[in-house]
Structure 1
Amino acid sequence: MKIKLDENISVAAKDLLTDFGYDTDTVTDEGMTGASDPQFKTCQAEHRLLVTFDVGFGDVRAYPPADHHGIVLLRLRDQQPQAVLDVLRRFLLSHDLAQLDHCLCVVTDDRVRVRRR
């Protein structure tokens, strides 16, 4: 499974996802910061699931689940790196990211909602 982390996700999350066996890139590594459309198109071209805090990606009218390889939208009260890692670790232990192709997945502090195509 290939994943791309948005610019607003800490580098430590890349290490965590890599430890879980995922092929993980970041928007920052590719110099695409601040550009939603190009990074989304790159994710699709590379068949990567996008992990982001950017609520704009949660708009299913703009980003219909049938048209992408998955978006994980993190909606956390505490966005400090360690808090994000804790929630992300729990999420990874309980969900198979390969099952999120063509899904919008909203991860909050205490629950996960998945919207399929």
Structure 2
Amino acid sequence: MRLLADENIPLATVRALRSAGHDVYSAAEANPGAADAVHIERAIREDRLLITFDRDFGELAVRGKERPEAGVLLLRFIPKAAAEVTDLLLALLARSDVKWQGHISIIDGVHVRQRPI
């Protein structure tokens, strides 16, 4: 899966996602400090599911002129360690019963809530 990991996604998680076969663009590695709009534009241009802890992306995705059709995965929990983020994302992205494309998916650590973009 093509993913865009926001700066707040641990680099250990980015590496694990890559090891699992995902194509991951890491904002922390490639473009730290860039505005959220820059990351949304890249996600749209490269058709990547955007993964973030930043609630602002939900607003940008819904109110922007162009919307990230690959989806936004918004993590809404406080992890105790990077491994918690890694394990959760690997499990979620392996699920075949969840359609990420065209949705903002809000993950609270246990549940997945979705709404169309």
TM bucket (normalised to shorter chain) is 0.7 to 0.9
Q: Which runs of 5+ in 2 are unaligned?
A: none
With the length of structure 1 as denominator, give the TM-score of the two structures: 0.82
> For residue 55 of structure 2, what is the aligned residue in structure 1?
55
- Partner-residue secondary structure (3-state), 2:28: coil
User: How many Å separate the matches in 2 of 1:75 and 1:95?
Assistant: 22
Confirm or deny: 8 A CA contact 1:57 1:63 kept in the other structure: no
Instruction: Call closer, same or farther: CA 1:38–1:63 in 2, change over 3 Å.
Output: same
Q: Which runs of 5+ in 1 are unaligned?
A: none
Confirm or deny: 8 A CA contact 1:32 1:39 kept in the other structure: no
Confirm or deny: 8 A CA contact 1:53 1:74 kept in the other structure: yes
Query: Once the two structures are aligned, what percentage of the paired residues are identical?
Result: 27
Query: Cα deviations across residues 77-99 of structure 1 (Å, max 9, x unaligned)?
Result: 325312212322332333567x3
- 1:38: Cα distance to partner? 1.0
Q: Report the residue type matching 2:85 in the other structure.
A: V
**Please, what is the CA RMSD of the aligned residues?**
2.3
User: How many Å separate the matches in 2 of 1:63 and 1:95?
Assistant: 28
> For residue 103 of structure 1, what is the aligned residue in structure 2?
103
User: How many Å separate the matches in 2 of 1:45 and 1:96?
Assistant: 26
Q: How many residues align?
A: 115
